[in-house]
Structure 1
């Protein structure tokens, strides 16, 4: 009755994987993941090639993938995010076909609707029993929520659960049920749990970031949304964490009880939950080990799937109930379009993740960033790559003031009334140009190496080969 197989090679053979098929991975172990590399090495040894990988995100720990691309084991990639280490090689044209970039909600939708069918899903599970009931809450490689793996498990033709902690049957408090699992493989280690920490989950002391956080908190207050029932998502960068602290102080002082916090969860968001700022955390991914521990112990900290988080084709999703979301930017242009896919030279350094999903769903979408980074202007005439369309962005907050989308004149009036330094985004662009000089036009090749799909599946932009 056991689904336990002796090796990855045996699981791959038994799954029926053949050249030309599509396989998938999730990224909850982030930069500590061992599973993708482990599986790809086994696949290569079996002589299987011309594969499409659909991975919810790819990190620098996955750089061995480049060698598999060069050897023809992998010929297509679909993902929501690519870190700079792999992004540089992809930007140089190593992959024979353009990368398909989706959002977190868009990927879940595409799997569930059959737009991108999965032949074999390989799911890293910190704990599993021999029938495939599995969880990310427990085990030596505990990563917390497995939200991005749910669609893969439920819709793939074959599902291989890979774990380094085998529990007795039945595993209690599982995330993914045995009804979706075909095979289970026990390995020595699926990853390094320290690697799930994003690298940016440290409270900033930078005065510019603190200034931006303070202004952003004032904007949220002035919007009228910061009241009982308030719902909120912020990121894991230093300014975002500082903003969370500002919002927490306001909510505690005024006795405001919010409804939910959403998104990739940090220990600082857990602090807000425990301080009584929110009724619950809806968690699709844990960004640090304090969040992992909270998900395990606190019943008000709830695991959700990527579809529940942000799928545009689900009957409803949590992103559509957000009051305010705070997002970052590599570039923002005078039409409020935002780029988080490429740097100023056109190299891939990221991806939408949930950026475009929550911007579309929230009542107030705020983009926060300094006016310049490394002598490069953040505010530009036109972003190099459109990740999130300007029509879904309400406010840009910099250290020099707040620009409001012309579509939100109602909000602009409230901010001015509250004494917030409101300015024009064109004025911020000129200020950035005066400081940094006029940026040279980026040279790009003719080859399309990436296609950016909006959350509804339409192509919103293309990425060209970098010089």
Structure 2
């Protein structure tokens, strides 16, 4: 007899997306980094465990193989795809704050170059040596983005709560390039709008928005705009232009009606309150 079933630690199966549009988002992300010179020896990056993120990890591995370069470390939630990169020698190490599957757990147990990392070491705002500050690139998701590059991960567009913040703010603030990888619309609802339903991550820490329609670069990142000015293989446009293109397909979205009652506070990584979530009038 034994207690529990390790095979059920992972809920569902994490697979690379088969959606052509989401694969295109991942391809645009990696191609953009390559064109601006960020895929190089001793780079550090973080991806996640969603379908687009897994595709990004695969395409990063393909590009690194092609260019014969090796990362210093891959950080964050670790999946079997990152483990495969370590085994292949595409990265010196994995730094694991969260293991997303059994392959990652086994690797951390058996591979001396797969390190466990505490959340404090990972993203403590008051630490001068946390890992997010050493990242070259962070790939993050969103439920919504607005024209000021603010990002929402806490609520749906209907105003209802989705989940917590996790390390979203930390990665965005710490890494050199924050890339938000998202489909242009979900269920015919546009994901780029004038103002997000809830501000989770402030726009000044977000650098690049990637959808299947192309890429929008934060105007604050004049260095990236300069590096990208001669890229012809990827559609690059101002975020207002991308928003207008999406709305030609979806139409404008109506904002949810809310009551005065506050049901949640959005706390930034330094402890300040940057937004509130109000009860939705259902």
Whether these two folds match at TM > 0.5 is yes
Find the counterpart in structure 2 of residue 256 from structure 1. 69
How far, CA to CA, are the matches of 1:287 and 1:254 in structure 2? 28
How far, CA to CA, are the matches of 1:287 and 1:323 in structure 2? 22
Of 406-415 and 281-290, deviating more is 406-415
Given candidates 110, 117, 131, the residue that maps to 1:318 is: 131
Alpha carbons 2:157, 2:255 under 8 Å: kept: no
Q: Where does 1:227-266 land on structure 2 (aligned, <5 Å)?
A: 227-266=40-79
Deviation at residue 222 of structure 1 after TM alignment? 2.2
Q: Where does 1:161-240 land on structure 2 (aligned, <5 Å)?
A: 193-197=6-10, 199=12, 201-240=14-53
How far, CA to CA, are the matches of 1:275 and 1:415 in structure 2? 31
RMSD over equivalenced CA pairs, Å: 1.4
Which runs of 5 or more structure 2 residues have no equivalent in the other structure?
Answer: none
The SS at the match of 2:258 is coil
Bigger Rg over Cα: 1
Find the counterpart in structure 2 of residue 391 from structure 1. 204
How far, CA to CA, are the matches of 1:329 and 1:199 in structure 2? 21
Given candidates 442, 446, 454, the residue that maps to 2:260 is: 446
Deviation at residue 198 of structure 1 after TM alignment? 5.6
Deviation at residue 219 of structure 1 after TM alignment? 1.3
TM-score by length of 1: 0.58
Find the counterpart in structure 1 of residue 216 from structure 2. 403
Which runs of 5 or more structure 1 residues have no equivalent in the other structure?
Answer: 1-139, 141-187
The SS at the match of 1:227 is coil
The SS at the match of 1:281 is strand
Deviation at residue 364 of structure 1 after TM alignment? 0.6
How far, CA to CA, are the matches of 1:319 and 1:344 in structure 2? 28
Given candidates 426, 437, 440, the residue that maps to 2:251 is: 437
Q: Where does 1:82-161 land on structure 2 (aligned, <5 Å)?
A: none
Alpha carbons 1:412, 1:422 under 8 Å: kept: no
1:312-362 C-alpha deviation (Å, 9 max, x unpaired):
112310110000010001000000000000001111112210111001000
The SS at the match of 1:422 is coil
Deviation at residue 424 of structure 1 after TM alignment? 1.2
Find the counterpart in structure 2 of residue 302 from structure 1. 115
TM-score by length of 2: 0.95
Count of equivalent residues:
279
Alpha carbons 1:252, 1:275 under 8 Å: kept: no
Find the counterpart in structure 2 of residue 462 from structure 1. 276
